[in-house]
Amino acid sequence: MVEIDASTHAPTTERIPREIWVLVGAAFLIAIGYGLVAPTLPVFVRSFDVGITAASLVISIFALSRLAFAPLSGRVVGRFGEVPAFGCGLAIVALTTGACAFAGEYWHLLVLRGLGGIGSTMFTVGALSLLIRLAPVGLRGRASGMWATGFLLGNIVGPLVGGGLTAVSLRAPFLVYGSVLVVVAVVGTLLLRGGARSPEETSAAGPPARFREALRHPTYRAALTSSFANGWSVFGVRVALVPLFVVEALGQPEAWGGIALAVFAAGNAATLVLSGPLADRRGRRRPVLAGLAVSGVATAALGFVTPPPLFLLVSLVAGMGSGLVNPPMNAAVADVIGSRARGGTVLAGFQMVADLGAIIGPLLAGLLAETVGFPAAFAVTGVVTLAAFGFWLRAPETLPRSPARTSGAALAEETLAGCAVAENPAPRGVQS
């Protein structure tokens, strides 16, 4: 297959809409709160006298709930709109997270994290749908990169603050995170009202993009595999195992778990600012392929690194690889959906595979860590990431030749029509 020459991509003079900046700010605050809890949660669960696998189950139950509710969340977004789903979902996560601070038994955490997953998928699908709909075609990579950078910058600050709160109390981060989410839900919903669809706009958008049609497109299938790998490694194994590996294998204080997660997030942020514009100029495939290769190799090596400074360095490299993947991957999914199409079920499917990875990853990696050792757990995670690399090798490029000419409903119609012949190296509406 022949890739598009960079010169064929017409530059855009459009600007990022105000609502996307609101989403970026909300992502930053949400990630700060998540970063407070992430290094604390596995250690907090272990305080209930349970093993590594049981501690990993608390991470997985959140993703399992997201997975089970994702199809319905896509319909909720389609019926009630992105903004109500965003605000309601954040409110649910805020209440359940704050309640974790008062958990008296292990099963309390399981129930609360499961309920929190329902809210999480609602606000995630709502925010991503709004981002894709409002971002100009020629700025999709940049918009996705900004949104992801908001999360990652928050993840840099959050674990560092969370490590300090953990020294005070293992329950304090949950109360702080819940309070932050309440503020974001109220203020974010008010500021995003201008981006809500009117009934006329909903009618003019035409029929929604369907998951079955998108699944016939090889680039969407490739995006599903990399989303699965991302859920497995970043949202599953890294959160579940890195804090435990730092404490139990490297013999470092609990605060070092937050430092390791922050270093990974810093590597992400360093490349996110580059991968978004790169995806808009050079195409989606190249940065995804480079990121998957770097992330897979570095993640596989993590379990074999024992000097703490070297462990932080490898974590930084793994984070840089992961940062290259997300903006172009999200932009490719947006290309398949189209900016005016309603893609709730397509986005829900995209989120579901990430949650599936976040369920399987911590459980399998936790079992491997207990029975074989941490090196095997990280090695398998790296292999999963490298497997997604193979799917992207066969995926066609989706960046339109002229965003101004192939935007909106026309792009959605052309791209999804091309799914009927997606096995052809050059489907209609997609240059390869």
> How far is Cα 167 from Cα 172, in angstroms, rounded to an integer?
10
What is the reported pLDDT for 270?
85
In a domain, 10, yes or no: no
Mean pLDDT, 10 residues at a time, the chain of 432 residues: 36 72 89 80 81 78 82 81 89 91 86 90 87 81 84 74 71 86 90 62 55 86 93 79 83 78 82 86 90 93 88 91 90 78 73 83 85 89 92 88 44 41 34 31
What is the reported pLDDT for 166?
67
C-alpha atoms less than 13 angstroms from C-alpha of 285 in its C-beta half-sphere: 24
Which of 188, 203, 96 shows the shortest CA–CA distance to 150? 188
- Helix H or strand E encompassing 120: helix 106-134
Alpha-carbon torsion, ordered 226, 123, 358, 234, to 10 deg:
60
> Which residues are CB-neighbours of 259 under 8 A, at least 6 positions away?
159, 160, 163, 312
In a domain, 274, yes or no: yes
What is the reported pLDDT for 208?
62
In a domain, 3, yes or no: no
Two tokens at 237? Answer: 């194994």
- φ, ψ for residue 195 (rounded to 5)? -95, 0
What is the reported pLDDT for 290?
93
Domain assignment of residue 371, given as a range: 16-421
In a domain, 8, yes or no: no
> Which residues are CB-neighbours of 83 under 8 A, at least 6 positions away?
126, 130, 189, 192, 193, 195, 196
> How far is Cα 242 from Cα 240, in angstroms, rounded to an integer?
6
Q: 408 — alpha (psi -120 to 50), left (phi > 0) or beta?
A: left
Q: How many domains does the chain have?
A: 1
pTM of the model: 0.72
What is the reported pLDDT for 287?
92
What is the reported pLDDT for 425?
33
In a domain, 34, yes or no: yes
What is the reported pLDDT for 414?
40
- CATH code for position 57: 1.20.1250.20
Chain position carrying tokens 């598009």:
4
CA distances in angstroms from 116 to 93, 119, 186, 350, listed in the order given:
5, 5, 18, 19
In a domain, 429, yes or no: no
Burial string for 76-99 (b: 16+ CB within 10 Å, else e) reads bbbeebbbbbbbbbbbbbbbbbbb
In a domain, 155, yes or no: yes
In a domain, 376, yes or no: yes
> How far is Cα 125 from Cα 78, in angstroms, rounded to an integer?
10
Are 123 and 86 in contact, with CB atoms under 8 Å apart?
A: yes
